[in-house]
Amino acid sequence: MTTYAVEATDLVKIFGKHRAVDGISLKVPKGIVYGFLGPNGAGKTTMIRMLATLLKPNEGHAKVMGYDLGKEADKVRHSISLTGQFASVDEELSGRENLIFISRLVGYSRKQAKLRADELLHAFQLEDVAKRQVKKYSGGMRRRIDIAASIVTSPELLFLDEPTTGLDPRSRNQVWDIVKALVKNGTTVFLTTQYLEEADQLADLIGVIDRGKLIAEGTSKELKSSIGAGSLTVHFDDSEELKKAQNIFISQFEQEPDINEQDISLTVMIKEHAKAAKAIGELANTNVQIKDFSMSQPSLDEVFLTLTGNVQDQEGGDSTNE
Amino acid sequence: MNKPSAIEEILTNRTRPKSPPAIQASATFAWRALLRIRYVPEQLFDVTVFPIIFLLMFTYLFGGAISGSTGEYLNFVLPGILVMTVSMITMYTGLDLNKDIEKGVFDRFRSLPIWQPSVLVGALLVDTLRYLIASTIMVTLGYILGFRPEAGFSGVIMGVVILLLFSFSLSWIWTMLGIIVRSEKALMGISMMFLFPLTFLSSVFVDPSTMPNWLQKFVDINPITFVVDAVRTLIHGTGTNGDVMIVIYISIALIAIFGPLTMYFFKNK
Ligand SMILES: Nc1ncnc2c1ncn2[C@@H]1O[C@H](COP(=O)(O)OP(=O)(O)O)[C@@H](O)[C@H]1O
Ligand SMILES: [Mg+2]
């Protein structure tokens, strides 16, 4: 028995001239949520499709649940389930038909398949829409039926490709709860996301991917301490106060804040939360009038800014003129 | 809010049943195709309208000129048009797959531990059912117009069976193209390029002995000619068993070549 759900070594996938995945090695211990974090076009889906036996890597090799991706693809398929980024059930069929259909393919008898479908519909609160075509589902329902179809039999390893992109907060929380329940039950979850907050909430281990390369890996705590806790923004009533505050930051904290004249506000990057509290306290002590202040988590942009040292281009992953 | 406990409860079972045998997997995919027809009955448009239009068109357009009377010509031409129409309709198998396969759900199919060809075999089985519908409509309408099979009802059934075998086998070509070719338009163009000459330059409409020599040579090696001859033979009880055996060989050859090729492209898409 290996202790790793995924052991990838130097995986490369090339489309034409474009290296969508450019030499990624990673190890995912069993029983955790691994968060694969990166912007659009970074190569997340390509990586997942290779690990789920759908794409052959051009270079490198990997073991999934202890089985070799190339030589033991069928054994890999026995241990995994995939919930793709887009419609991973048949949208023309109803939710119940989809679940019966997948249950039959997994090997259940006709009777067991119906039973299993109804169990899943109940647990995922989809009973009311069981007979409706999936294409008429809301985004949240669709994601739940996608995941339900993936756990017709509990997989040892579940791939979830951007499970919450485009969902409202309530649906997103439902998906998070489902993931937590799965992991509690012993399933390893490999999920991709564009949101730092999601990786932060769910993932035990986060890998940051950009332009086909793994540029950082660690727990959410480790990643954050490498890039700081976020930023502090303070608003003032007039620019007089703003000026005073700016001087305090420079003299007391040896930090040059970003000034926004229009909003009459300033922003500083903060290494740890305690420091932010200290700064606000200092402003109050010196009688600077504050209108309000807010802390924000480091955004994905800031993570990339810090990790890659350059602003990530919005075209995403075009590497022709590097 | 969702209760995690409800989901945890249904997760307790980790034992996975044995993967289904190839037949069960294929039947399950066939069931999917049938359900899709139930939701989108327009899918049956081609198999109902084409037979009717083709039969009426060719019977009354050529009937008088070629045989002198439409009734006599119908007896000769119906088996031919039947083969032509169903062969043409097989093209839609590729077109449907071409659209279907772009959908995310195919990633799920391909990540399941099942006999992979079942994904396509199931769909092709239901398409064969569509070909049967087309055949039934055409024979029925033909009967109303005066078509009288000389080998009786059982001859018609045997003729249709051999035609379905051939069509199922022919479908693998379009299935393969449906996987490789990117756009629906290009696929349509390629299919037409093959199907038009193959169906028209055959024994569908006229006896090849009336054709110029060079054309006869092509018609005589055209697989569609063999199928038309076999179906005519069975329907009118005129020919030999040899005609039927040739079609069976052609069908086996088509599956043996294009089945594995299709699966190769399906796996490595
Ligand atoms: N089948 C394909 N053919 C050509 N290029 C592709 C294909 N799939 C993905 N790509 C390219 O590879 C890069 C990575 O894509 P993807 O893995 O989907 O990124 P992500 O999932 O992180 O958004 C993108 O630039 C995308 O355009
Ligand atoms: Mg993606």
Q: Which ligand is nearest to the CA of A317?
A: 1
pLDDT of residue B116: 92
CA distance A161 to chain B (A): 12
> Do residue B1 and residue A174 have CB atoms under 8 angstroms apart?
yes
Report the residue of chain B nearest A126, measured CA to CA.
Answer: B2
Q: Which ligand is nearest to the CA of A213?
A: 1
B114 touches A105 (CB < 8 A): yes
- As a whole number of Å, the CA-based R_g of chain B is 22
Do the chains contact at A105 and B103, CB–CB below 8 Å? no
What pLDDT is recorded for position B68? 66
Put residue A162 in one of left, alpha, beta given phi > 0 → left and psi -120 to 50 → alpha. Answer: left
Nearest residue by C-alpha to atom 27 in ligand 1 = A41
CA-closest residue to ligand 1 atom 5: A15
Residue B8 lies in a domain: no
Report the gap between the CA of A124 and the closest CA in chain B (Å).
7
> A107 vs B18: CB contact, 8 Å cut-off?
yes
Which of A157-171, A241-255, B60-74, B210-224 has the least mean pLDDT?
B60-74
Q: Which of A147-156, B151-160, B171-180, B204-213 has the lowest mean pLDDT?
A: B204-213
From ligand 1's centre to the CA of B246, what distance in Å? 48
pLDDT of B2 strictly over 70: no
Of A87, A122, A184, the CB nearest to B104: A87
Which of A12, A17, A18, A215 is the pocket-test mutation for ligand 1 (most atoms within 8 Å of CB)?
Answer: A18
* Residue B67 confidence class, pLDDT cut points 50, 70, 90: low
> Which one-letter DSSP state was computed for residue B103?
S
Count up the domains in chain B and report the number.
1
Where are the alpha helices (H) located in chain B, listed in sequence order?
Answer: 4-9, 22-39, 45-67, 70-100, 105-110, 118-145, 152-180, 184-200, 213-221, 223-236, 241-267
pLDDT (0 to 100) of residue A103: 95
Give the residue among A118, A78, A123 at the shortest CA–CA distance from A100: A118
What pLDDT is attached to residue B167? 95
Please state which architecture CATH assigns to domain A229-297. 2-Layer Sandwich (3.30)
Which residues, 6+ apart, have CB-to-CB distance to A112 below 8 Å? A103, B17
Q: Which two tokens stand for residue B100?
A: 């279907």
Cβ contact B32–A102 (<8 Å)? no
What is the predicted pLDDT for the residue at B228? 93
- Contacts (Cβ under 8 Å, ≥6 apart) of B135: B51, B82, B86, B160, B163, B164
pLDDT per position as a tens digit, A217-240: 998 878 777 777 678 889 998 888
What is the Å distance from ligand 1's center to B4 Cα? Answer: 34
**Coil, strand or helix: which one is B112?**
coil
- CA A47 to ligand 1: nearest atom: 17
- pLDDT tens-digit map of B84-100: 999 989 988 888 888 88
pLDDT above 80: residue B202: yes
Q: How far apart are CA A201 and CA A191, in angstroms?
A: 12
Mean pLDDT score of chain B, rounded to an integer? 88
Flag residues of chain A having pLDDT under 50.
311-322
Supply the pLDDT for residue A314: 42
Domain A4-225 has CATH 3.20.20.70: no
- pLDDT confidence of residue A301: 66
Model confidence at B57, pLDDT cuts 50, 70, 90, reads: confident
pLDDT for position A72: 92
3-state SS of chain A is CCCEEEEEEEEEEEECCEEEEEEEEEEEECCCEEEEECCCCCCHHHHHHHHCCCCCCCEEEEEECCEECCCCHHHHHHHEEEECCCCCCCCCCEHHHHHHHHHHHHCCCHHHHHHHHHHHHHHCCCHHHCCCEHHHCCHHHHHHHHHHHHCCCCCCEEEEECCCCCCCHHHHHHHHHHHHHHHHCCCEEEEEECCHHHHHHHCCEEEEEECCEEEEEECHHHHHHHHCCEEEEEEECCHHHHHHHHHHHHHHHCCCCEEECCCCEEEEEECCHHHHHHHHHHHHHCCCCEEEEEEECCCHHHHHHHHHCCCCCCCCCCCCCC
Across the interface, do A153 and B12 touch by the CB < 8 Å criterion?
A: no
- Exposure class string for A239-253: b at 16+ Cβ within 10 A, else e: eebbebbbebbeeee
Q: What is the pLDDT of residue A317?
A: 40
- ipTM for the predicted complex: 0.85
Tell me which chain A residues have a C-beta less than 8 angstroms from the C-beta of B36.
90, 92-93
Query: Does the distance separating the beta carbons of A82 and B103 come in below 8 Å?
Result: no
CA distances from B50 to A23, A162, B29, B109, B200 (A): 54, 45, 26, 33, 16
Residue spans per domain, chain A:
4-225, 229-297
B231 vs A249: which has the higher pLDDT: B231
Distance between CA atoms of residues B190 and B247, nearest Å: 24
- Whether residue B102 lies within 8 A of chain A, CB to CB, comes out as no
| Distance separating alpha carbons of residues A249 and B90, to the nearest angstrom | 76
Q: What are phi and psi of B126, to 5 degrees?
A: -70, -35
* Residue of A77, A86, A123 with shortest CB distance to B112: A77
Contact B147, B75 (CB under 8 A): yes
Partners of residue A102 in chain B, C-beta under 8 Å: 108
Residues B252-268, mean pLDDT to the nearest whole number: 93
Binding-face residues of B in 144-173 toward A, CB within 8 A: none
Asked if the Cβ–Cβ distance from B113 to A178 is below 8 Å, we say no
Q: What is the pLDDT of residue B239?
A: 65
Provide the 3-class DSSP secondary structure of residue B24: helix
Among the partner-chain residues B1, B24, B108, the one whose CB lies closest to the CB of A84 is B108
Q: Is the Cβ–Cβ distance between A42 and A16 less than 8 Å?
A: no
Tokens of B182: 């990117």
Number of cross-chain residue pairs from A and B with Cβ atoms under 8 Å apart: 126
Please give the average per-residue pLDDT across B66-84, as a whole number: 82
Residue nearest to atom 3 of ligand 1 (CA): A15
Residues with CB under 6 A from ligand 1: A 15, 18, 20, 38, 40-46, 317
Q: Which residue would you say has higher pLDDT here, B43 or B114?
A: B114
Return the ∠ at Cα B140 (arms to B134 and B146), rounded to 5°.
135
- In a domain, residue B2? The reply is no
Where in the sequence is the domain holding B236, given as residue range(s)?
Answer: 21-268
What ligand has the least distance to the C-alpha of A13? 1
Residue A321: what pLDDT? Answer: 39
Indicate whether B152 belongs to any domain: yes
The answer to whether position B164 is within a domain reads: yes
